[in-house]
Structure 1
């Protein structure tokens, strides 16, 4: 057991701690900023505080220079990320959000994200309040989808085993509600709600200064690791017996973000704390969050996430504190195995007799493209669909709960509007990117806009080497913050600068191994030459059914990352 003095990091607190402390429970002066028409953005602390309300201030970086020449400020706008536990949304809700995107955003698109929800991009200041009120009327909000709080709770989205999936999703929704901020700030600012005295408000789980850093939670149903558990702070692995959910194995301390040039930062896998019965789920969730609240690093935000707290205080010390706070003793973990990732495309039938159609949406961008009017297609399906939609953590869309008599018409609409093309290569289905340029202020290199052509090159390499039906889990992220989850890919590109990336290889199909850096700060052309050579070796030297990530480790091309804190950079 660590000495109590080692549990708290001493030193000057980061300025974000002052910001949160002085914010009057996340209100700041956001209302005053909204009425300021001299700028299209939010100023001072409000630039950060709007994140707790689900928004990031951005601008179009493609035109930033031109506007500066005209002595204009950047074209400030916000990106909003909705709160949608488990990614479930009704067709009626979809029609409303799609209408808002069409009428009131710069880009006109709805984007499905790796956080299993949707984002609006390009909302100008005059439309922000309308956006929140439009969402509220449909039963959706964006509370705590960004900032130092527990964010949108992910859940296995492919409803193969409908009974277990339904129970798991219900727990995802309960966890989300349980860990939400209790402040009335969101309702006051965006919904014209009744104002309350912020000094009388309390945050029993998150605390008055909220968390040291962002916090991510998931519920996953093995054997499908479709939400990448090791990318998250807290994970509930569903354990079922005889088709009934009996409890969860709890995994804590995963995370993928790092900082270029700072070896005190690194991606990390989550640790398995053990099994809990269902009735202890919310208690354990609150205990993990509150322990991180109290012990997390509030001095250095680069080391503030749960993964660094576990490394600093020790896994067993953290686990014991969770047991104490939740009044629970973790049992030995129940057996489970992750055998696959990603989404199961096409039609599947659930045990309730209803059908579910998973549609591939490249980069999650739902827009009417010249040859693929995807947005129109989803709208037409939403008009007649009797079930619901499930957004996946891999940026795809499931038309779920389709009765047999509606299956044919849903299929025909999907084909008509390019949502279900005749063929998509396995490689394209297993590739993913974050948004990056031109809107993300953190982006260092292209990601979403580069991915399609990069995949086309990979498809050509696989064909050249005689393995066109094979695929590699391939991901690009425009900066080291990890939104594209490249640090759980077999091949992961991490943006370093304009047209420059760090190349990582050696992750595995199950998503339980972090890839190793193989080349640093090289161009996309150089990367493709390296990958071509590696694919050639894989094709000719691999064992039967050996995946690319496993091959490069067995062949000694890179060492396996076993303990990131010790061997990620060696």
Structure 2
């Protein structure tokens, strides 16, 4: 493809000398921020350049430049950390960040508010804890997620080994990361050309997400990934994996041709075939994905345009063998693994973290209390794709003591919260995300509180409804597979989506557009009343909305 047809980002990647660009030089100057070209390369190294949007207007009025800050995203396969690794992030958040840690929907940590001059020190310290930021962002395979439940046994151990093996095989091999952040020996970029066989010099057309799940348990929203990998059990062994392809949540509000999509069944593979088949799928996206228009560069559009049959035939051609058909999947749960979990001689404590933000607030010192407890009791820490965390592998007496110490600080187990609160998620949005066009994390607690009040009033307080909010259409909190999704359209106004199912295998549909923030819950009230009055026995809210249809739901809402 000629450079005339490549998007601007593609040209930057091609000229970056395998992700070096001008990062080394720009880290050494006194500027408060990176150049536009460097910003694109920086993403591959796990960092987004942002600015404090709360300060923009006043700084502009004063004739000053923006207050530039960096967001650093780690790569933590499956979300599993040791106690020491967790405590490194805790310290870095205070030393260089804004004093908070953000659990993402990709089962990893983000640090916000890091200044450019502290960026290298922060990344170096993360690496010293044996965690990398390479692959946290950028047009490559990002953090690979999986079920966060701390199962014990040969089956779970085997799935974890396959996950880690796949992470290693799909990681970028360029030496640029070590040169820039760890002062490693410089090598000729042409050496990287021979090493970077999976990605090539332009890497992938867009970000690429892989998720694992155990059959029956879709807590990881496996259908939202470019490749979903579902493990099948054969006693204590792994029988193999059903692969799903073509999922992705992002869309552009102004372009109706863009849309979220759920991954489709593709093939069944044995554990020994897994890595080769996944790599073949990635290379198909590498070679055929859209590099002209980034709005259509995710693999879901390639799967949609060419079809599953073409994709399978192309994969078989590259592998030199036929692929087995996918197995039929049955799902029993998609809930996060929260509360006190008894597991043989171990106890795990799954804690709810509102919108994934670990911070100290007046009367609720979550960050300090967790750091003290983790330093004292040394649990394994497991982050979840629903932005919560599990303190795992505790002796029963240690779990009792830890639970009591947290409770004394006001930090309670999930049974103290409403079902709708436990199933709520929001993206960070303002003031850090440059893509946000409306508030999300900062206002979502008020939405949930109002929704809780209405549900209680209608006798629906115990209904486990999933509700998610994002500050733009990109869908980072996966609002399109929530029973209720709020998606920011402009400042203070949101689209409402209804009707996804709890299993995460059906998208919702747009119900209302441009609803003012204060009208979100009042707009839903007539729908909730209809659900109370006309639902079938045991029918979940999303299934009810899907069954009666959006037009019937709209009829229930008074025209203002």
Match for residue 114 of structure 1 among 92, 96, 105: 105
Equivalent positions of 1:118-517 (< 5 A) are: 118-160=109-151, 162-202=153-193, 203-350=196-343, 352-421=344-413, 423-517=416-510
CA spacing shift, 1:207–1:371, aligned 2, 3 Å: same
> 2: distance between equivalents of 1:247 and 1:326?
18
Structure 1 vs Structure 2 CA RMSD: 1.7
Distance in 1 (alpha carbons) for counterparts of 2:521 and 2:449: 11
* Cα distance in 1 for residues equivalent to 2:484 and 2:390: 26
Which residues of structure 1 form unaligned runs of 5+?
A: 1-7, 561-570
Q: C-alpha displacement at 1:401, in angstroms?
A: 1.0
Structure 2 unaligned spans of 5+: 554-560
Change (3 A) 1:62 1:376: same
Contact 1:9–1:299, Cα closer than 8 Å, also in 2: no
Q: Residues 505 and 558 of structure 1 are in contact (CA less than 8 Å); yes or no, is this contact kept in structure 2?
A: no
Matched position secondary structure for 1:496: strand
Aligned-partner SS, 1:481: coil
Q: Distance in 1 between matches of 2:133 and 2:150?
A: 25
C-alpha separation in 2, matches of 1:376 and 1:310: 46
Q: How many Å apart are 1:329 and its aligned residue?
A: 2.7
Superposition deviation, residue 119 in structure 1 = 0.5
My pick for the range that moved more, 280-289 or 376-385, is 376-385
Q: Deviations over 1:259-311 (max 9, x none)?
A: 11212211111111121000011101111111100010111111111000011
What is the DSSP-based 3-state SS (H/G/I as helix, E as strand, rest coil) of the residue aligned with 1:339? coil
Q: Is the 8 A contact 2:481 2:501 kept in 1?
A: yes
Retained in 2: the 8 A contact 1:292–1:309? Answer: yes
Number of corresponding residues: 550
Secondary structure class of the residue paired with 2:390: strand
Check if 1:545 corresponds to 2:545. Answer: no
Q: Is the 8 A contact 2:3 2:11 kept in 1?
A: no
Q: What secondary structure does 2:452 align onto? A: helix
The 8 Å contact of residues 259 and 480 in structure 1, kept in 2 or not, is answered as yes
8 A Cα contact 1:150 1:179, kept in partner? yes
Match of 2:558 in 1: none
After superposing the two structures, state which structure 1 stretch, 464-473 or 118-127, moved more. 464-473
Whole-Å separation in 1 of the counterparts to 2:292 and 2:252: 16
Q: Structure 1: how far apart are the matches of 2:373 and 2:159? A: 26
Equivalent residues of 1:247, 1:276 under 8 A apart: yes
Q: SS state of the match for residue 279, structure 1?
A: coil
CA shift, 1:95, in A, is 1.2
Q: Tell me the TM-score normalised to structure 2 length.
A: 0.95
Contact 2:268–2:326 (8 Å) recurs in 1: yes
**Residues 342-362 of structure 1 deviation map (CA, whole Å, 9 limit, x = unaligned):** 312211123x53111100000
Distance apart, 1:31 and its partner CA: 1.3
Contact 1:172 1:218 in 2 (8 A): no
Whole-angstrom distance in 1 between the partners of 2:509 and 2:475:
15
